[in-house]
Amino acid sequence: MRRNHFQIHSIIRSIALVVILGCLLLVTPVQAQTRQNSSITLDGHQLFKVSDTGQVSAENRATDANLILKQAVRSSEPVKVEIIENNQLPVIRVQGRHLLTVTSQDIPTGRTKEEQAKIWAQIITEAIQQGQQERKASYITQTILVAFVSVIGALFIHKLLGWVWQYWLRRLVPRAANDPETGAQPKGLELLLYLTLFLIRTGLWVGIIIYITDLFPLTREWSQRITSILSMSLTSPVVSLGAKSYSVINILILIGLFFGLLAVAGAVTNLLRSRILRITSISRGVQESIAVIFNYSLLFIGTVVLLQIWGLDISSLAIFASILGVAIGFGLQGVARELVSGLVVTFERSIQVGDFIEIGEHMGTVERLNARSTHIRTLDDILVIVPNSRLLEKEVKNWSHHNQASRLVLPIRVGYNSNMPQIRSALLEAAKKNSEVLHKPAPKVWVKGFGEDYLDFQLLVWISKPRRQFQIKSDLYFQIDENLRNQNIQIPLPQRSLHIRSGSLPVELSPKLEDSLSQLSAMLAIWLKNQVMIDNLNGSTNSSNNKTKENNTSN
């Protein structure tokens, strides 16, 4: 489970990184556009826009006026905004400095230059007063408190969203995802929910940052710039397909719709598998095949419909589809072979989910039949992924094909002095005592033949759980050994007889070897004679010494 969550987190981080990089790539043109703005602004608030005159551009007029307003708002004294007439044109002055001249290009239709000058002067006066008010200590203290409360509230909402995800939203994932009988794993819905949670949390903190920076006059310009950058980055065209262009918002909507399609397809497939196919008499293998085909078909049709709704002409992808088909034909021959083999195995139904099979060195239960591979759970509880082509190219033993009963053969050897009916009853009694041995077909005892020093028997039993065959064999052998010992029936040990005959060997020796052997035998005879003489002398000496000791003792 932790591994799956780690994979989901990695995918989400990758998507977020792509989006952030895309936004950063769009920052430069947006900033360039911002520098050429012709708006009169103060502390991040846009007051009004000016137009070009005959000699000065609108950008230069706005830059000069904004600089004067920034200097004026920093003053703690009341700022005087007045209107004077110069060359029959109204001029707005701030603290005696020329701010801007209202020209005929600045006024809308139906308004005089004097009226426009009064409106702008009123706007400038109110903006300067608000700026001075926001620079007082009382306002800053109150704003810091509001920012602190906002951060605490954002943390609470962040945790609340996590709790909602963990205890409520994840319950939307079908229970069949953890059902070992169906094996359904709708990860699309879980990924969609986590992506939604991530985007909501990201939007929450971005909104908090924008809100807090907008509270302070010194950082309000940053807030406006961040908002402008995000707006332009998300709405500006970044991808062009044919005559249409698509922005980041359009791409995110398409990704969200695709994940929604995955979630809906997984939920509908699980509903089909758990509610409809399960109540039918169709085998599990066919049920799984129908569910897989239905899921892929639903995804294909849904993808085509989504692309059409999104505005992408599917017919324009015909050339790409043909190239992709050629690539699949030449570069993906192995994958195509596995897919075809999977379809053959699925519709032939020679191997189904739940069958106990033996292929090569692997023996286990079929847990899942995929389009490309088959999952087998071995007796060591290890999942082996076998390509579907191996199921067709190699011999496969299916212990459960069309019949759940499997026969086990247990060879037993006993001595010739044993009573055969007594042996037969002992073996059948051992089989009847085992609860995992089927009564129908009944266990049987066969005499295979007469060996060199033993009678060769076979105990035949039928079981319904081939996965436990080795445990059943072990239990039967324990019980057979106990029964044979109780009836004094011995299992013979292997015996071999060795007969040795004496005689002359027709070996011819060379004359030199004969002379050497003769000399060696003569030397050996002389040495033995000397040894005998030495032993005799030692014996006489010992006897005389013993007589002398006896005489001394008697005296």
Q: What is the pLDDT of residue 185?
A: 43
Residue 281 has pLDDT above 80, yes or no: no
> Is 528 among the domain residues?
no
Distances (CA, A) of 349 to 262, 270, 285, 552: 28, 22, 7, 112
Residues in the chain: 555
| Burial (CB count within 10 angstroms: exposed 0-12, middle 13-18, buried 19+), residue 182 | buried
218-232, 326-340, 442-456: the lowest-pLDDT one: 326-340
3-state class (DSSP) for residue 510: coil
Average pLDDT of 245-257? 78
Average pLDDT of 304-331? 66
> Is 248 among the domain residues?
yes
Last residue of a domain, one of 105, 135, 165: 135
Residue 188 has pLDDT above 60, yes or no: no
Average pLDDT of 226-251? 73
- Report DSSP state, residue 508: -
461 and 353 in a single domain? The answer is no
Q: How confident is the model at residue 313 (pLDDT cuts 50, 70, 90)?
A: low
> Is 370 among the domain residues?
yes
Strands (E) across 191-254 are located at: 237-241, 244-247
Other beta carbons within 10 angstroms of residue 486's beta carbon come to 10
> Is 543 among the domain residues?
no
Strand-by-strand arrangement of the 356-359 sheet: 383-387, 373-378, 362-369, 356-359, 396-398
Last residue of a domain, one of 277, 312, 347: 312
pLDDT digits over 432-478, tens only?
888 888 888 888 888 888 877 788 888 888 888 887 888 888 888 88
> How much of the chain exceeds pLDDT 90, in percent?
2
User: Which CATH number is 373's domain given?
Assistant: 2.30.30.60
287 and 329 in a single domain? The answer is no
Q: What is the pLDDT of residue 145?
A: 93
Domain count, the chain: 4
Task: Specify the higher pLDDT residue, 497 or 140.
Answer: 140
> Is 190 among the domain residues?
yes
**Distant-in-sequence, close-in-space partners of 513: CB < 8 Å, separation ≥ 6:** none
Residue 1 has pLDDT above 50, yes or no: no
Residue 114 has pLDDT above 50, yes or no: yes
8-22, 344-358, 436-450, 498-512: the lowest-pLDDT one: 8-22
Q: How confident is the model at residue 266 (pLDDT cuts 50, 70, 90)?
A: confident
185 and 308 in a single domain? The answer is yes
Q: What is the pLDDT of residue 148?
A: 92
Q: What is the pLDDT of residue 362?
A: 83
**Interstrand relation of 373-378 and 237-241 (parallel, antiparallel or unpaired):** unpaired
Q: What is the pLDDT of residue 34?
A: 41
Task: Specify the higher pLDDT residue, 551 or 254.
Answer: 254
Q: What is the pLDDT of residue 236?
A: 73
Q: What is the pLDDT of residue 354?
A: 78
3-state class (DSSP) for residue 431: helix
324 and 377 in a single domain? The answer is yes
Q: How confident is the model at residue 149 (pLDDT cuts 50, 70, 90)?
A: very high
Instruction: Measure the CA–CA gap between 413 and 410, rounded to whole angstroms.
Output: 10
304 and 324 in a single domain? The answer is no
User: Which CATH number is 475's domain given?
Assistant: 3.30.70.100
Compute the chain's Rg from CA coordinates.
49
Other beta carbons within 10 angstroms of residue 214's beta carbon come to 19
Last residue of a domain, one of 269, 297, 312: 312
> Is 355 among the domain residues?
yes
198 and 308 in a single domain? The answer is yes
38-42, 84-88, 238-242, 373-377: the lowest-pLDDT one: 238-242
125 and 69 in a single domain? The answer is yes
**Distant-in-sequence, close-in-space partners of 114: CB < 8 Å, separation ≥ 6:** 83, 90
Query: Does residue 61 contact residue 100 with C-beta atoms inside 8 Å?
Result: yes
> Is 476 among the domain residues?
yes
192 and 298 in a single domain? The answer is yes
385 and 367 in a single domain? The answer is yes
Q: What is the pLDDT of residue 191?
A: 67
Instruction: Measure the CA–CA gap between 387 and 370, rounded to whole angstroms.
Output: 9
Residue 203 has pLDDT above 80, yes or no: yes
> How much of the chain exceeds pLDDT 70, in percent?
74
Residue 480 has pLDDT above 80, yes or no: yes
Residue 183 has pLDDT above 50, yes or no: no
Q: Which domain, by its residues, includes 416?
A: 406-486
182-191, 250-259, 290-299, 364-373: the lowest-pLDDT one: 182-191
pTM (2 decimals)? 0.46
388 and 448 in a single domain? The answer is no
- Mean pLDDT (the chain) is 75
Task: Specify the higher pLDDT residue, 152 or 79.
Answer: 152
353 and 474 in a single domain? The answer is no
Ranges of H-type helices in 76-186: 113-134, 137-167
Q: What is the pLDDT of residue 100?
A: 83
Ranges of H-type helices in 98-136: 113-134
290 and 247 in a single domain? The answer is yes
Element (H, E) at 295: helix 284-310
> Is 492 among the domain residues?
no
